Chains A and B, each alone.
Chain A
Amino acid sequence: MNETRIEVKDLVVRYGEQVAVNGVSFAVGRGEHLTLLGPSGCGKTTTLRAIAGLEQPSSGRISIDGQAMYDAAERRNVPTEQRGVSMVFQSYAVWPHMTVFDNVAYGLRVRKQSPADIAANVERALDLVQMRHLASRPASRLSGGQQQRVALARAVAFSPTVVLFDEPLSNLDAKLRAEMRVELRELQRRLGVTSVYVTHDQEEALAISDRVIVMNVGVIEQIGTPEEIYNRPRSRFVADFVGSANLIKGKLSGEGLFAAEGGAVLKVNAPHKPRGTETEVAVRTAYIGLAPQPGDNQVAGTVRQRLFHGDFVQYVVDSALGPLIVRRPPTNLLEEGAPVTLSFSPEHTVLLQEQGA
């Protein structure tokens, strides 16, 4: 992954007066699977479309395999069709006036492959998504899940080296989405393509990516592996948007010590170099135990509410730190009103950067 395939530098995209992407830089390595994650309007889709050449940036540089696709300084803008990337659209964009076969064969025909090669490549692509038996069906008579598979097959049929995904699973129901997630990950590994994936679904982002970029209002909040993003969120936004976390207010009171507003002092871990003015720490709901553990931060509390979710149980525990949310496996259920000791390791007590820093 040391070889850079896509490089985006200081990208700015504007719609009229509005700045959709405000100076974004990142690189994607060969064969890497990178995800842009963020709420709607954060600029993730615009960034992706700029890579595809579907959106004209205002400034910055985008290069693929070392070649400039867009460069404001050189006034260079390679048209979409010459960039050699492939894309799966949110709406699938399966052409309703063609059959499944014709849809998948499109990119191959554009590239003037021989009919025999086209047939072979389409078959191979349809096999990948288990749609071969529907090759002759008109695309207008496919279910949502089937269209999604056709769009996928079409995107990989002409063996592109880069595939862009614009929220490809967002129109599927939850069950199908979970299945497709597994298949997508599998497909990526098998084809060895480089991919950039856009989603607003944090679970999806964490599950299928090598690296995740969290974006908000046109800028990057954090770049890292899924584990890094989850375990060491840099800002309040990341802690809140990815996974579920308790935010505790207070101020730094010494080397690695944080005085919470309720009076308790916590040992904390800072992924960045502390400035001394930070006011918040985040603790993941899944990392809080309800029994004392040696070496941990420990606070006494009382269970106020219990919600049984099946895969986990969510407790709201009143404590000196305020009400904290705790998620535990659904074993050894505690009654509401039970006294507990909240305990969480300093490693998981993450000091957050100030807003706007």
Chain B
Amino acid sequence: MTSRNIGIMRYNPEQDKKPHTESYQVEADDNTSVLDALQQVQQQDPSLSFRWSCRMAICGSCGVMVNSVPKLGCQTFLRDYPDSLVISPLSNFAVEKDLIVDMEPFLEHLSAIKPWLINSEQSTVPHVQTPQQLARYQQFANCINCGLCYSACPQFGLNPEFRGPAALALAHRYNLDSRDLGKAERMPQLNAKDGVWTCTFVGFCSEVCPKKVDPAAAINQGKVESAKDMILSVFKSSGVR
């Protein structure tokens, strides 16, 4: 164990006008994660606020910016930042206190695209799916809703109305699912002004995704679907069947 210095962005809404960085000493070895370091600091200063739960990159709660890059605290290690390390709250979201941000805008976008199986079929028979049908959407189903992709997305930073990477990737995931019949309900969200066409394929969302979901690919595959939907709607409205 060696002692080292880390910076943490602090913001107390009852006292501070804006966030500021404070530095702390932590004991670290090769296995010390950013989340471990935050917990050590909390022992020194119990007023430090941050979210965490599972410590194994499943719950998606401990997202923070580590040297300006969105990371899960539990999956990021101090050994990879030998020079300097500054932990700040996720970008593009409003800071409530210290490292806690208001995720509400993301959750609204998420629920808008109806990320669940839409299938009114009343049947007691299980929905059988072949491995090929599963493979079509499986990669996009690994999303843990951590929100790192929203902090990586400059289009979401510029325009918070943009549905954003995770929501659009999940829309694509359910549209690709053979058990789902809700594509027609989701397409208006994809086609809308703040849908898939706001994405310019910066691609940083896919770089930072801790589950390798590749939301940028999902959104741009969504553009292909949106274009097909538009062409089909032209034929339908002109009466061609």
The reply to whether chain A is a binding partner of chain B is no
Q: What is the interface of chain A, defined by CB distance below 8 A to chain B? A: none
Q: What is the interface of chain B, defined by CB distance below 8 A to chain A? A: none
